[in-house]
């Protein structure tokens, strides 16, 4: 009788999304300047508004009060071009256990949950 090693499957991008508004109304395009490495489910801070050439600018949130959106996919920026990615910015429900909280403390996570709720993004645990 052969023994197979235990394999653990990692979370998939967008697996944290429980529900969102119809017609992709919850999503926007986002831009992160180079150099950036982004993981799915990371909290983002809104920056400069969208222009005709570039979507709204985001950075990785350093505090819970600055959590304005959530990255749907990850990626690494390209010099000069940066990184373009889809983000959740409103009217969605997400699984908090699958979000990438980065270095945010427990208190900052509580603040982030409240801040996201003002955008209509409800975090469930």
Please report, in tens digits, the pLDDT of each residue of the chain (125 residues total).
668 888 888 878 899 999 999 988 999 999 999 999 999 999 999 999 999 988 999 999 999 999 999 999 999 999 989 999 999 999 999 999 999 999 999 999 999 999 999 999 999 99
- Residues 112, 94 contacting (CB under 8 angstroms): no
Q: Is the dihedral of CA 49, 57, 100, 109 positive or negative?
A: negative
Ordered by start, the domain boundaries in the chain are: 17-124
**At a CB cut-off of 8 Å and minimum separation 6, what does 17 contact?**
72, 88, 92, 93, 94, 95
> Among 61, 71, 46, 67, which Cα is nearest to 113's?
67
**At a CB cut-off of 8 Å and minimum separation 6, what does 104 contact?**
43, 61, 63, 64, 112
CATH architecture type of domain 17-124: Beta Barrel (2.40)
């Amino acid at each position: 009788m052969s023994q197979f090693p235990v394999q653990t499957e990692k979370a998939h991008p967008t697996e944290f999304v429980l529900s969102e508004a119809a017609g992709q109304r919850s999503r926007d395009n986002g831009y992160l300047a180079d150099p950036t490495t982004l993981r799915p489910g990371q909290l983002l801070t809104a920056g400069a508004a969208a222009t005709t050439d570039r979507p709204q600018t985001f950075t990785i949130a350093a505090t819970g009060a600055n959590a304005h959106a959530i990255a749907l996919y990850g990626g690494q920026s390209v010099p000069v071009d940066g990184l373009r990615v889809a983000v959740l910015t409103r009217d969605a429900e997400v699984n908090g256990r699958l979000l990438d909280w980065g270095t945010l403390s427990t208190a900052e996570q509580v603040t982030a949950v409240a801040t996201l709720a003002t955008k209509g993004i409800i975090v469930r645990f």
